[in-house]
Amino acid sequence: MKVQVCIIGGGPSGLLLSQLLHLQGIETILLEKYSREHVLSRIRAGVLEHGFAKLMREAQCGERMDREGEIHKGFHIAHDGVLDHVDLYKYSGGNSVIVYGQTELTRDLYEARERFGGKVVHNAEDVALHELKSDKPYVTYRLGDETLRVDCDYVVGADGFHGVSRKSIPKDVLREYEKVYPFGWLGVLSRTKPVSPELIYVKHDRGFALCSLRSQVLSRYYIQVPLTDKVEDWSDDAFWAELKRRLPEKVAADLITGPSIEKSIAPLRSFVAEPMQYGKLFLAGDAAHIVPPTGARGLNSAASDIYYLYHALLGHYKKGDDAGLAGYSERALARIWKAQRFSWWMTMLLHRFPDRLAYDDQLQRTELGYLFSSESAMRQLAENYVGLPF
C-alpha cells in the first residue's frame, strides 16, 4: 500500500493529525498496536487548553467536547493550613481551560476517523520503520500471520513514550534529557460528585494530593505514593482515608467516596528527545517528550506538536513549501521546553521529596507565599497553565 503519511500510534496525537490531514485531502494510514477498546480503557489527562479545543473543532470533532466539557476559570491550592485560589481568568487576561477527559476525546477522534472512512489498523504488531533517510521510506507491520508494507512520503511517530519510532533514530543522532522523580501518583476514578467544582492541588506533609474531575458525576483523585507501592497495596478504603488526611478539614468533610472504577499508579518523569525529526520521520507527543502531570501539560504539549506538524505538512503538500517541515523540530521544542519548565516547577512546588532538607521545605513555603502575594507571579502561573500560544 502507498499513502502520503504513515502515522504510528492511535493515541490523541496520531488520531488528531490523521483526521486533520484527511480533511485536507492528504492520505494517511494509522497503525495502532492495540485494540480500540484497549486504547479507550486508559484513563489519563483531563485538562485541555483552548488551543487544543480549537484543533478538535477544526478536525470536526469538537461537538461533544463543547457540549459536555466544562470551562474552568480557576483552581485551588491547599497549603500550610490555607486554601488559596488561583484566578486563571483574571491573571491570564480572560483565558480558561476545558475539563474534558482524554478517553472521551480519543473516542470522539476514533468515531470521526470511522465516519470519514479513515484507514486505522488496530493490533498492528512488530511495526518497523525503514529507509527513513531516503526518499522512499516505508513501514512494515504484522497483522496475524501476515506481514504488510506501507510505502509513504513521511512517517509520523506518535506512538507514545514506549513506542518504536523514537528508538528508530540512531543513538548518535538522538539526545535524551531525563529526570525521574522519586514518587508516583496513585489515581482513582469514581462515579461520585466531585468534592469541588474546580480542581484542588494539595501540598501536605504526608505528600501531594489532587482533587480533579472529568465531569460533575465523575471524580478523579490522586495521592503521591512511593515508587515501591503497588496498586494492590491500596484498597479503596485505604485510598480514601489517606486522601482525607491530606485534604483541608472542610474539604475532607465534604468528600463523597465510592467504589473505584479505575485505579492505577503513574510514575512521574520529565523527558525530552532531540531532535524531533530524523530524515522522513517526525516525532510528536509522548513519543518525544513526557512531563509529570502536575501542570496538566502532557496532552496539551502533544497538541502543539500536531498543530506545527499539520501546518508543516500542509505547506509541503499544498504550497510546495518545506520550510515548516525543516523547522518543525526547533519550533516544537521551543514550546516543549517551556512546558517542561512549568511542569517541573509545579512538581517541585507541591510534592514532598524523600531526601528534602529543612531548607527545601522553607523554600517551598516561601515560593507559595510569594505566589499568593504577587500579581506578577500569579500572572506567570496563569499564562502557563492556560497554555502559551502555539
Ligand X SMILES: Cc1cc2nc3c(=O)[nH]c(=O)nc-3n(C[C@H](O)[C@H](O)[C@H](O)COP(=O)(O)OP(=O)(O)OC[C@H]3O[C@@H](n4cnc5c(N)ncnc54)[C@H](O)[C@@H]3O)c2cc1C
Residues that bind ligand X (CB under 6 A): 8-14, 31-34, 39, 44-46, 102, 124, 127, 158-160, 162-164, 266, 285-286, 293, 296-299, 302
* Sheet strand arrangement including 28-31: 119-121, 28-31, 5-8, 154-157, 281-283, 277-278
- Spatial separation of the C-alpha atoms in residues 277 and 281, rounded to whole Å: 6
Residue 312 cell numbers, joined? 508543516
Q: By C-beta, is 14 or 74 nearer to ligand X?
A: 14
Distance in Å, CB of 142 to ligand X, minimum: 11
Q: By C-beta, is 266 or 363 nearer to ligand X?
A: 266
- Spatial separation of the C-alpha atoms in residues 111 and 259, rounded to whole Å: 29
φ, ψ at 213 (rounded to 5°): -160, 160
Distance in Å, CB of 319 to ligand X, minimum: 27
- Are the beta carbons of 315 and 322 closer than 8 angstroms? yes
Residue 149 cell numbers, joined? 508494507
Number of Cβ within a 10 Å radius of residue 102: 21
CA 375 to chain centre: 28
- Are the beta carbons of 360 and 354 closer than 8 angstroms? no
Q: Are strands 28-31 and 119-121 parallel, antiparallel or unpaired?
A: parallel
- Spatial separation of the C-alpha atoms in residues 235 and 242, rounded to whole Å: 11
Extended strands (E) in 209-322: 209-215, 218-225, 260-274, 277-278, 281-283, 289-290
Distance in Å, CB of 30 to ligand X, minimum: 9
Using left for φ > 0, alpha for ψ between -120 and 50, and beta otherwise, residue 285 falls in left
CA 203 to chain centre: 22
Distance in Å, CB of 158 to ligand X, minimum: 5
Q: By C-beta, is 160 or 324 nearer to ligand X?
A: 160
Q: By C-beta, is 124 or 251 nearer to ligand X?
A: 124
Distance in Å, CB of 374 to ligand X, minimum: 26
Distance in Å, CB of 3 to ligand X, minimum: 16
Q: By C-beta, is 294 or 364 nearer to ligand X?
A: 294
Distance in Å, CB of 87 to ligand X, minimum: 21
Distance in Å, CB of 99 to ligand X, minimum: 11
Distance in Å, CB of 27 to ligand X, minimum: 19
Measured distance between the N- and C-terminal CA atoms of the chain, rounded to whole angstroms: 34
φ, ψ at 3 (rounded to 5°): -130, 170
Q: By C-beta, is 306 or 368 nearer to ligand X?
A: 306
Q: By C-beta, is 215 or 372 nearer to ligand X?
A: 215
Q: By C-beta, is 207 or 387 nearer to ligand X?
A: 387
Q: By C-beta, is 127 or 195 nearer to ligand X?
A: 127
Residue-level length of the chain: 390
- Spatial separation of the C-alpha atoms in residues 54 and 50, rounded to whole Å: 6
